[in-house]
Amino acid sequence: MTTEQDTMFEQVEQVLEKLRPFLLRDGGDCELVAVDDGIVQLRLLGACGTCPSSTITLKAGIERALLEEVPGVVEVEQVF
């Protein structure tokens, strides 16, 4: 990983830490798997992993926050 990728990874982690209490409140969580060329790969855990609304949580919640707060993020993908 380059220094730029390390920095983006750390910034993504910081944003996820802010969002994590909301996920935990509903019995879920997320794990940052990788950041590559602006694409953030997340694994949804717990209730979030099986929730029918997980795509909405991922795109409308997590992705929106990351696009606003982390320069260079272009997309969030769910990995299993």
Phi-psi region of 17 (alpha: psi -120 to 50; beta: other; left: phi over 0): alpha
Residue 1: predicted pLDDT = 57
Q: Which token pair is 42?
A: 């997340």
- How many domains are contained in the chain? 1
Residues 6+ apart with CB under 8 A from 20: 29, 30
Mean pLDDT by 10 residues, the chain (80 residues): 84 97 93 96 92 88 96 95
Residue 52: predicted pLDDT = 87
The pTM for the full model equals 0.91
Domain interval for residue 8 = 3-78
Q: Which token pair is 16?
A: 């996820």
Residue 43: predicted pLDDT = 96
Q: What is the CATH number of the domain that holds 56?
A: 3.30.300.130
Residue 49: predicted pLDDT = 86
Distance spanning both ends of the chain, measured CA to CA:
22
Strands 39-46 and 28-36: antiparallel
